[in-house]
Structure 1
């Protein structure tokens, strides 16, 4: 397996959850706006490469339906599609690696802000989302790989 593909799957699902309106509002703050932009960029790159791959549609359907994690089948299909694409296109693999590294560095900044008492933040670490979900208060949503 190409390193980072599981993380990409998680971010794609988190993006779909956000777009489905299940997360209450956009992220706020400078770091949070950068995370929004990074996740949008990741989706653009993945969408451009995978095109009309049914796995992407299934991710959006599951996020819209309110699932708290991808079904095993959808997760596997998206993982397989991403692995194949990264194996065939080293430039795509490099682009994904750069975006994921950027998102992870932003997450580290956000975690540091939260530790300093900056208040409740949305947390996308370790394949989970912890934050406000529209109409449900603060929720924990698993996306991508399960935390160990």
Structure 2
């Protein structure tokens, strides 16, 4: 049941990343110096996290509207605290702590380093590990809450 809810999202998201990557390279002339498989693996791990977060939100929400509102209140600050808009080292100490549980902050580091520097897994393994741990934690919590809700 959970797989049926997540597979379309994962496929669409992978196609989105592919499309954005192609546009960045061909239209905006952004150099791609790294291994595409490293970026693909990072994308899959990031989707692992976002799917887990989305499922967790759906298990605590009574309605679709409530889930959408919770998503906005979680994902907008997550974007702002990811290092994409403001450098993490310029954030207040408490905000920097929040970035440790934000999968987007790890994915941004990987995407930038793979695209622009050609960095591989040998350097980026801490970010991959963090996304794997966060994704596993979020999916585990989601599955536990989902089974509790069915019972």
Shared fold per TM-score greater than 0.5: no
More strand by share: 1
What TM-score results when the alignment is normalised by the length of structure 1? 0.33
| Structure of higher CA gyration radius | 2
